Amino acid sequence: MDTSRATVRTVAGVDIGGTKVTFILWSGDAIAYRVVLPYAARSSREFSELILQGMGDLRRRAADVGVAIMGTGIGCAGMVDQKHGVFLFPPNMPGVRDVALADIVGGFTGAPAYLENDANCALFAEWVSGVAVGRRNVVMFAVGTGVGGAFIVDGHLYVGRHGFAGEIGHLPMVDRGLLCGCGRHGCLETTASGTGIERYVESALAKGSKSLMTMKDAASARTISEFAHHGDLLAQQAFKRAARYLGRAAAALINTLDPDMVVLGGGVAESGLLMDEMKRVAQRRSLPLLFEGIEFSMAHYRNDAAAVGAAFLADQLLKGQTVYST
């Protein structure tokens, strides 16, 4: 695969997150237009209408500047059927199931549309033109509302037999732990995600832990991070605990995949409160030979990572490039 900077002309990228959907037009080597819509769909039909609303904005913008959308890449926070272009189900979006997004978007734009997991898209962006350029084997943690993951193996996206590889957030971490959105207990996501951090603080406050935070503050991982930066011990403890679990998961993947680099991204990771403790625990729990020389890096792309990566993915697939491991 060509790992040089993507030469997309006009391609759309979509990032379907847990609370919002980001739509971009990528032209040349930059975002030419962006629109963000709050996610409020309660059914597959409302979800489809929301996606078409955003794509309509992109199509009008493209027409205004005299270009056509050549293709669309769509990053989804959840499991997707890449082969058939179906968004199967997102753990954090009740009511949305089995949406044929590739057909819906492709029919609307008159150009091919491709689906992929959002973490895979985010890592693809880093690998094409971010911190992971030139690396052959990379693991990514995307820590936001949930915890996503993605792998580059021997220079290609690795998605596994069913196309679902990278569900790092559902690694079993805690015996008899909290209920996860997937329906199981004790997943990494219940301890290390934004939601997991919030639940930890809420529980601690309910038990009388001392803190300047209120229950209202505990409902936002971003707010908790602000308290942590200002010295609140409970807030700091919540992030340190999350980072320790991320470090354990990183060690398991380092010992399994022997990567060149571990990339940490996502909105919660941008707090700057996770990397140091995560790396410390990963080093302690990894085999020394496998940890030697490994790089840990914060992601280059921030909130637009999955949308940019989705656009890159569409561009490469339109060119007939081999993106996935075989």
Ordered by start, the domain boundaries in the chain are 8-123+303-318, 135-298
Neighbours of 50 (CB within 10 A): 17
**What is the rounded CA–CA span in Å between residue 83 and residue 162?**
10
* pLDDT < 70: residue spans in the chain: 1-8, 91-92, 326
pLDDT computed for residue 218 by the predictor = 96
Instruction: Answer whether 8-123+303-318 and 135-298 agree in fold.
Output: yes
The alpha-carbon radius of gyration of the chain (Å, integer) is: 19
Q: For residue 183, what are its two tokens?
A: 């329906």
**Strand boundaries in 67-163, DSSP class E:** 72-76, 79-81, 86-89, 113-117, 138-143, 147-153, 156-157
Assessment of whether the complete model's pTM goes beyond 0.85: yes
Class of domain 8-123+303-318: alpha beta
**Which sign does the torsion angle of CA 246, 251, 257, 262 carry?**
positive
pLDDT computed for residue 90 by the predictor = 74
Cα of 210 vs its chain's centroid, Å: 33
Q: For residue 119, what are its two tokens?
A: 């973490």
- Domain spanning 135-298: CATH superfamily: ATPase, nucleotide binding domain (3.30.420.40)
Query: Which letter, b or e, does each residue of 67-103 get, where b requires 16 or more Cβ atoms within 10 Å of its Cβ?
Result: eebbbbbbbbbbbbbbeebbbbbbbbbeebeebbbbe
pLDDT computed for residue 8 by the predictor = 40
